[in-house]
Amino acid sequence: MRPPKKEARERELAGEPISPGIVRGKVKVLRSPDEKPVLPGEILVARAADPGWTPLFINAAGVILEVGGMLQHGALVAREYGKPCVSGIEGAVSVLKDGQMVEMDGLNGIVRLL
């Protein structure tokens, strides 16, 4: 029922495409929605997102989630706000670091490490 994941090349992470768009920005990794602010243009990285995370999507340029699919709350909000989103990147909150530059492609489910 899901399309196969794209193959990740060197310096790429592959996940499930959720919401289309290509953005570049600095990563902001959060383990809880009140941990720290997401500044305009940053790419929000989280394990998953529930309704308490919704205000953070306003400033986020894009969203990277470890778990969940097309119907996960974070995926729905990302599409509603027109934000690129990739899900299913295992270990994203450990692999990606605050301030790291990435380019994410929400149509193809790819995150490029810059």
State the SS3 of the chain. Answer: CCCCCCCCCCCEEECEEEECCEEEEEEEECCCCCCCCCCCCCEEEECCCCHHHHHHHCCCCEEEECCCCCCCHHHHHHHHHCCCEEECCCCHHHHCCCCCEEEEECCCCEEEEC
Q: What are the pLDDT digits (tens) for 49-98?
A: 999 999 999 999 999 999 988 889 999 999 999 999 999 999 999 999 99
> How confident is the model at residue 41, as a pLDDT?
97
| pTM > 0.85 | yes
Q: What are the pLDDT digits (tens) for 31-49?
A: 999 999 999 999 999 999 9
Q: Is 73 a catalytic residue?
A: yes
Question: Cα–Cα distances in Å, from 91 out to 29, 48, 68, 86?
Answer: 11, 12, 13, 13
> How confident is the model at residue 67, as a pLDDT?
93
The residue among 40, 44, 47, 79 whose CA lies nearest residue 62 is: 44
3: pLDDT confidence band, cut at 50, 70 and 90? Answer: low
**What does CATH list as the number for 12-113?**
3.50.30.10
Residue of 6, 26, 73, 79 marked catalytic:
73
Q: What residue segments make up the domains of the chain, in order of their start?
A: 12-113
